[in-house]
Amino acid sequence: MELRISRTDEVASGLLIAFAVSVYIVSSDFPSGVAGTPGPALFPRFIAGGIALLAVLQFVNAIVSQDSKRQSVTTDDLVQFGVPVAFLIGYAIVLPITGFLLTTIAFLTIVMYYSGVRDLKVGVPLAVGISIVLQNVFVGFLHVPLPEGPLGLGGLVSLFIGVGGLL
């Protein structure tokens, strides 16, 4: 199966602008900063503004250049796009149940294996290391609470790293 799509730059620009507007709207519910400091909405709004600006530039460039690009989408392309999206959806569903640390280790290991890292002696330690660093950055440095899961490993890892003097 092959699907042909024309005017892809204009379509992509419109989708990116819609995404940026939705991020801006959702971030309006974030709390404001204390005593004039920027609040949690600053970073997502900054990124959304950058995305919107670049999308507008892409749209204008596509209209001015009169170059109507066409793309063909095959079944293989859909599978190549859909599998990582399914991994992300599964990660989001399992995260509150098993906790950040275990879910992230499993997710990173699976995604690395899918992406071509076939040596688990490399993939698993890398996934563990990245997950521990992320756990400590979010919890220890940024003070963002993450789901602990039934084993409570996140608190143990944060305590261990904190005692070790890294945070």
The pLDDT of 21-40, averaged and rounded, is 82
Tens-place pLDDT, residues 73-96: 888 888 998 999 999 999 999 998
36: left (phi over 0), alpha (psi -120 to 50) or beta: left
Is residue 105 exposed (0-12), middle (13-18) or buried (19+ Cβ within 10 Å)? buried
Q: What is the C-alpha separation between 99 and 152, in angstroms, rounded?
A: 8
- What pLDDT score was predicted for residue 94? 93
By DSSP bridging, strand 70-74 and strand 2-6 are: antiparallel
Tens-place pLDDT, residues 108-127: 999 999 999 999 999 999 99
Tens-place pLDDT, residues 38-76: 777 888 899 999 999 999 999 999 888 877 777 788 888
- What pLDDT score was predicted for residue 2? 77
- What pLDDT score was predicted for residue 165? 47
Tens-place pLDDT, residues 129-149: 999 999 888 887 777 788 887
Q: What is the C-alpha separation between 92 and 128, in angstroms, rounded?
A: 18
Neighbours of 102 (CB within 10 A): 20
Q: What is the C-alpha separation between 93 and 56, in angstroms, rounded?
A: 34
Neighbours of 72 (CB within 10 A): 9
Q: Which residues contact 135 (CB under 8 A, 6 or more apart)?
A: 100, 101, 104, 146, 154, 157, 158
Tokens for 21? 């507007």
Residue 159 in this model has a pLDDT that exceeds 70: no
Kindly give the residue spans of alpha helices, DSSP state H, lying in the chain.
8-26, 42-65, 75-98, 100-115, 120-136, 153-163
Q: What is the C-alpha separation between 116 and 95, in angstroms, rounded?
A: 24
